[in-house]
Amino acid sequence: MTGRLIVLTGPSGVGKGTLLTALLARHPELYLSVSATTRSPREGEVDGTHYYFYPRDRFEREIAAGALLEWAEFAGNYYGTPIAPVQAQLDRGRSIVLEIELAGARQVASIFPDALRIFILPPDLQTLETRIRERGTESEAAILSRLEQAQVEIAAQAEFDFQVVNDDFEIALAELDRLVSPI
């Protein structure tokens, strides 16, 4: 069986991370790509587990070396997917999940047209704002930038193969589970 590339996109605060953790618990065969970023670690985030935390010059060297499958700037920081682990997993026939924002998802779609692309939606913008604020990890400027970007991303939802609304967590998880399960 060949590995599949699965792309999960959706606005900041929509609950992608929590959904993914639950999805991976149900699907141990799925491998989650660890992204690189220049943003500072949040409390509890571990380098190499949640992200590879790079200074900007290191990130720019990775771009120049062609070491990233895709990358984008989001709310003032760089984010990107190291290419080597993705290639290694696909070569082994394992499926890999990328949790990335819109510009990166578009790059992946042009490189891997067969990737399964799923967009996670909030029930509405007000709920999204409440979730981001309750997380309490971002400055006011970062919150506003993320909310602005959320509207841009939501407007592009139709580019994705499937849309999943994260209103009731269990329903959203069941839907995701169905989408990633081999037929």
Contacts with ligand 5GP by CB under 6 A lie at 12, 35, 39, 70, 72, 74, 79-81, 99-101, 103-104
Nearer to ligand 5GP, 39 or 182 (CB): 39
Q: How far is the CB of 114 from ligand 5GP (least distance, A)?
A: 19
Q: How far is the CB of 92 from ligand 5GP (least distance, A)?
A: 21
Nearer to ligand 5GP, 100 or 180 (CB): 100
DSSP 87: H
Q: How far is the CB of 183 from ligand 5GP (least distance, A)?
A: 27
Q: How far apart, in whole angstroms, are the C-alpha atoms of residue 117 and residue 29? A: 18
Q: How far apart, in whole angstroms, are the C-alpha atoms of residue 51 and residue 33? A: 9
Q: How far is the CB of 174 from ligand 5GP (least distance, A)?
A: 22
Q: What are phi and psi of 70, to 5 degrees?
A: -155, 160
Taking CB atoms, the residue at the shortest distance from ligand 5GP is 104
Nearer to ligand 5GP, 81 or 166 (CB): 81
Which strand ranges, in their side-by-side order, compose the sheet holding 116-121?
31-32, 96-99, 5-9, 116-121, 162-165
- Does residue 176 contact residue 23 with C-beta atoms inside 8 Å? yes
Nearer to ligand 5GP, 65 or 183 (CB): 65
